[in-house]
Amino acid sequence: MKLNIAKLPGDGIGPEVVAQAVKAVDAVCARFGHEAVYTFAPVGACAIEATGSAYPDSTHQVCLESDAVLFGAVGDPKYDNDPTAKVRPEQGLLAMRKQLGLYANLRPVETFEALAHKSPLKEELVRGADFLCVRELTGGMYFGEKGRRDGGDTAFDTNLYHRFEVERILKLAYEYAMRRRKHLTVVDKANVLESSRLWRQIAQEMAPQYPEVTTDYMYVDNAAMQLIRCPKWFDVLVTENTFGDILTDEASCITGSMGLLASASIGAHTGVFEPIHGSYPQAAGKDIANPLAAILSAAMMFEYAFGLMEEGRAIREAVAASIDSGFVTEDLADGGAAHGTSEVGDWIANRIKKS
């Protein structure tokens, strides 16, 4: 099978971790008889420097013509520290999601037995936790009308949702719940927000279409608490854009490291597969960044973009083996020998080939 992959490393540690994900992809292709063809395109700060746009038209075209996008991260202190900057790296990520119609962000949270002690939570709480966060990605406050008035002293952000946006993300969440443990938690703030009342109304209308799925509803503040109190209770969690952004970052701590969590953004056009840890510019170029989230994003790419489940499993097993063997970067070394980003990538690629 020929796999046409858009490679968008982006900023900070993005190029380093994506390079390790590519090693894993190439190893899988060698083992299973596939061919990966990569097309590079800039996004984020590096794209601004080259073209003036954080997501140039040429990059969008590359994405449209590819089967999947392997993405690193965007962000640069130069722009973080300049509140007057009219173009920011993060605008590239939002534009990519919007223009590709990527309305759903999938973030699996699964703990590794060997790393349960790394979680800030008690081991007995996190051991065995395995759930999927489904976040609506193209609506809500991030994309609603915003601005200032009264000479700049009053600011507003509009949390706008249409029925079709809510229906399609709930449908997707129900479908994933059917494939897992048949438990869906709809997170909203229906006691205060009208947009949340629309979410809950539509979820209640749709629930009878999935009688095998247990549907429950939870206010977002309670959900934030329950993710810490009893993360093993959740199976599939679905929510709107802003709530999802916050809850998924909170959930990332359950595993003990943000460097372990992959994500997929899917929708109308080409899916984007990326680690959630951001650009981490302080580590860029030092060969210390944890590449496992990017490598696990490649596993999700095989599974969600190409339907190649065995290939994705081969990557996951190699990652688990690297953790069990202690062949990890400094953030996971736990007092043992720490290995460089590229060393870990090489180890996992070799493991995939030899398995």
When pLDDT is cut at 50, 70 and 90, the band that residue 253 belongs to is confident
- Quote the CA–CA distance of 141 and 213 in Å, as a whole number: 29
What's the rounded mean pLDDT across residues 267-291? 94
159: its two tokens: 């949390």
- Return residue ranges of the chain for CATH 3.40.718.10: 1-102+266-355, 120-255
Residue tagged active-site, from 55, 161, 189, 304? 189
221 is catalytic: yes
130 is catalytic: no
Is the pLDDT at 82 greater than 90? The verdict is no
Backbone angles phi, psi at 95, to 5 degrees: -65, -40
pTM of the entire structure?
Answer: 0.87
More confident residue, 114 or 274: 274
What's the rounded mean pLDDT across residues 81-91? 85
Residue tagged active-site, from 67, 80, 157, 249? 249
- Quote the CA–CA distance of 215 and 275 in Å, as a whole number: 29
Of the listed ranges 88-97, 182-191, 200-209, 343-352, the one predicted with least confidence: 88-97
Q: Which pLDDT score, from 0 to 100, does residue 33 have?
A: 96
Displacement of CA 206 from its chain's centroid (Å): 26
Is the pLDDT at 249 greater than 80? The verdict is yes
Q: Which pLDDT score, from 0 to 100, does residue 199 have?
A: 98
The CA-based angle 243-248-250, given to 5 degrees, is 100
Torsion of CA 270, 198, 146, 149, to 10 degrees: 180
Backbone torsion region of residue 156, taken as left when φ is above 0, otherwise alpha when ψ lies between -120 and 50, otherwise beta: beta
When pLDDT is cut at 50, 70 and 90, the band that residue 116 belongs to is confident
Is the pLDDT at 113 greater than 90? The verdict is no
235 is catalytic: no
Distant-in-sequence, close-in-space partners of 272: CB < 8 Å, separation ≥ 6: 63, 68, 69, 71, 96, 97, 100, 102, 264, 265, 266
SS3 label, residue 10 = strand
Smallest CA-to-CA distance from 43 within 96, 99, 102, 5 is with 96
Q: Which CATH class is domain 120-255?
A: alpha beta
Rg (CA), the chain: 20
SS3 label, residue 19 = helix
Instruction: Decide the pairing of beta strands 236-239 and 154-157.
Output: unpaired
More confident residue, 335 or 298: 298
As beta bridge partners, residue 266 has: 104
Q: Which pLDDT score, from 0 to 100, does residue 130 have?
A: 93
When pLDDT is cut at 50, 70 and 90, the band that residue 244 belongs to is very high
Q: What residue has token string 């993405």?
A: 71
Displacement of CA 250 from its chain's centroid (Å): 13
Residue tagged active-site, from 171, 221, 286, 324? 221
Residue tagged active-site, from 130, 157, 245, 287? 245
Architecture per CATH, domain 1-102+266-355, reads as 3-Layer(aba) Sandwich (3.40)
Residue tagged active-site, from 142, 157, 232, 346? 142
Three-state SS for 87-141 is CCHHHHHHHHHHHCCCCEEEEEEECCHHHHHHCCCCHHHHCCCEEEEEEECCCCC
What's the rounded mean pLDDT across residues 88-94? 91
Is the pLDDT at 293 greater than 80? The verdict is yes
Q: Which pLDDT score, from 0 to 100, does residue 115 have?
A: 84
Q: Which pLDDT score, from 0 to 100, does residue 112 have?
A: 85
Backbone angles phi, psi at 133, to 5 degrees: -95, 125
Of the listed ranges 67-76, 87-96, 203-212, the one predicted with least confidence: 87-96
Q: Which pLDDT score, from 0 to 100, does residue 114 have?
A: 82
When pLDDT is cut at 50, 70 and 90, the band that residue 235 belongs to is very high
pLDDT mean across residues, the chain: 94
Is the pLDDT at 337 greater than 90? The verdict is no
Is the pLDDT at 257 greater than 80? The verdict is no
Helices in the chain by DSSP H: which ranges?
Answer: 14-32, 45-51, 57-64, 77-80, 89-99, 123-126, 163-179, 194-206, 220-229, 241-252, 292-300, 309-325, 341-354
SS3 label, residue 70 = strand
